[in-house]
Amino acid sequence: MKLMEVLNEIHQQVLPSLGQGKVATYIPALANVDPMQFGMAITLNDGQYYGVGSYRTPFSIQSISKVFSYTLALRTYQDGLYKRVWREPSGNPFNSLVQLEYEAGIPRNPFINAGAIVVCDSLVSHFNDHERAFNEILGFIHQCSGDNSITIDEVVAKSEMAHGFRNIALANLMKSFDNFDNDVNTVLQTYFKHCSIVMNAQQLSRSMLYLANNGTDPISKKQLINATQAKRINSLMLTCGHYDASGDFAFRVGLPGKSGVGGGIVAVVPGKMAIAVYSPALNEYGNSLVGTKALELFTTKTGLSIF
């Protein structure tokens, strides 16, 4: 079956599920999004792409940004990064302080909030400045996507900052355990800004090709990270990419992936392609409800699960 047919079939099959789930409500900019949207895009390693529905509608990538910041930090610090952020599933909600306290301020993985915050802290240290750290992350996304027009939604960024008490708590808890080097507020600016980056499904699928191609962007031919690092990021997305429903996603979809509360999910088929879906209503674990269904249909129809 051709990929465009697959996308069209999926589109038809998920339409009845639109309306289930709930959009994120902790900030107005996300709460006001139309929950009935659905878009899906695939980009192959050779650059061909396919899209269906609202695949060109920009949305807030939120936690999907953690893949980019982690890639940059891993490239910068290599194995040194593991002293500061571990690589195990957490078995707890994405913003829990409990495990962080029991485990002396070392976050379980870079895809829970505490882990991504410490990743941002490491980048602020490396680039000596929180604005430059953010610009480096954004520049890296420009590279990955081949699109320099991508930018942030300032309203979302400010709104996140104004409601980020729990993230401030996480950062200060890590600081109390000496796993935080810079001023909490400046690092959180980098963190919230990179969560507020806006992309559409097509841009997102394009930007993840380096993970489908052993660390080298297959279109620009530029090596962004090495093959081992790419495999490791994929393994992390598989085991930890969907908060406390990561096992469920691996079980049903069978692909490395990362979701955001803005309703986006990206998934990687190693050696072949990257996929992005967008549908803002979330399931009880904070992952796009229809997006997860669409990806489950995708691997069922194509047999492209890694398992």
Instruction: Rank residues 135 and 302 by Cβ distance to a second copy and give the closer one.
Output: 302
Return the range that interacts with a second copy (CB under 8 A); candidates 65-73, 96-104, 125-133, 198-206.
96-104
Is there a catalytic annotation at residue 243?
yes
Instruction: Rank residues 54 and 205 by Cβ distance to a second copy and give the closer one.
Output: 205
Instruction: Rank residues 97 and 198 by Cβ distance to a second copy and give the closer one.
Output: 97
Q: Where are the beta strands (DSSP E) in the chain?
A: 39-44, 49-53, 59-60, 151-152, 197-199, 257-259, 264-269, 273-278
Q: Nearest to residue 94, comparing CAs of 290, 258, 274?
A: 258
Q: Which residue type sits at 239? A: T
Q: What does 226-274 look like in DSSP terms, one character per residue?
A: -HHHHHHHHHHHHHHTTGGGHHHHHHHT-S-EEE-TTSEEEEEETTTEE
Q: Give the count of beta carbons closer than 10 Å to the beta carbon of residue 245.
A: 18
Binding of residue 170 to a second copy (CB under 8 A): yes
- Distance, in Å, from the CA atom of 284 to the CA atom of 176, rounded to the nearest integer, reads 32
Q: Nearest to residue 243, comparing CAs of 53, 143, 112, 73?
A: 112
Phi, psi (degrees; rounded to nearest 5) at 264: -90, 150
Binding of residue 75 to a second copy (CB under 8 A): no
261 appears as a binding residue in the annotation: yes
Q: From the candidates 60, 66, 159, 278, give the one annotated as an active-site residue.
A: 66
Instruction: Rank residues 109 and 200 by Cβ distance to a second copy and give the closer one.
Output: 109
DSSP 57: -
Binding of residue 251 to a second copy (CB under 8 A): yes
Is there a catalytic annotation at residue 66?
yes
Binding of residue 232 to a second copy (CB under 8 A): yes
Binding of residue 87 to a second copy (CB under 8 A): yes
Binding residues for substrate: 63, 113, 160, 167, 191, 243, 261
Residues binding a second copy (CB under 8 A): 86-92, 96-99, 101-102, 108-109, 165-166, 168-173, 175-176, 180, 184, 228, 230-232, 234-236, 238-240, 244-248, 250-251, 254, 256, 270, 300, 305-307
